[in-house]
Amino acid sequence: MVIRRIKFTGSSPSLKLCPSEDFPEYAFTGRSNVGKSSLINMLCQRKSLARISSTPGKTQLINHFLINDEWYLADLPGYGYAKTGKKKIGEFEKLVIDYILYRENLMSLFLLIDARHPDLDNDKKFMDFLGVHGIPFVIVFTKADKLSSNQVKKSKDLFLRNTLQRWETSPDIFLTSARNRLGREEVLDFIERTNLMFKKR
Enumerate binding residues for ligand GTP (CB under 6 A).
32-38, 52-54, 56-59, 78, 142-143, 145-146, 177-179
Build a one-symbol-per-residue string for 18-57: x at contacts with Mg ion by CB under 5 A, - elsewhere. Answer: ------------------xx--------------------
By the 8 A CB rule, do 175 and 182 touch?
yes
Q: Are strands 62-67 and 137-142 parallel, antiparallel or unpaired?
A: unpaired
C-alpha 176/C-alpha 83 separation (Å) is 28
Query: What is the rounded distance in angstroms from the CA atom of residue 25 to the CA atom of residue 65?
Result: 10
Which entry of Mg ion, ligand GTP, none binds 155, CB below 5 to 8 A by partner kind?
none
159-190 in b/e form (b: 16+ CB < 10 A) is: beebbeeeeeeebebbbbbbeeebbbeebbeb
Q: What is the H or E stretch that residue 126 is in? A: helix 121-132
Select 54 or 150, whichever has its Cβ closest to ligand GTP: 54
What whole-number distance in Å separates Cα of residue 175 and Cα of residue 109?
Answer: 15
Look at residue 150 and give the partner it binds from ligand GTP, Mg ion, none, a contact being a CB closer than 5 to 8 Å depending on partner kind.
Answer: none
Q: How far is the CB of 7 from ligand GTP (least distance, A)?
A: 20
Q: Which residue lies nearer to Mg ion by CB, 37 or 177?
A: 37
If binding is defined by CB under 5 A, does position 176 make contact with Mg ion? no
From ligand GTP, Mg ion, none, interface partner of 63 (C-beta below 5 to 8 A by class): none
- Where do contacts with Mg ion occur on this chain (CB under 5 A)? 36-37, 59
